[in-house]
Structure 1
């Protein structure tokens, strides 16, 4: 995700989940932690 987002400012990431929303949250939280993004 980081490579894709860094390649072009117009690139976006869409995370689609069919069923278990917990895994989606883990992916988003892990990326936010990796990128030092704060939810505040």
Structure 2
């Protein structure tokens, strides 16, 4: 049971970190694309 709980927590952290990384990357790309010229 302990291992299962640790697995769930680890999986949540992996998914969360992936989501945060994607949000940062997309935000950065969006800032570059939609940045006003000049």
The TM-score, its normalising length taken from structure 1, stands at 0.41
Which one scores higher on RCO, CA 8 angstroms, separation ≥ 6? 1
The TM-score, its normalising length taken from structure 2, stands at 0.43
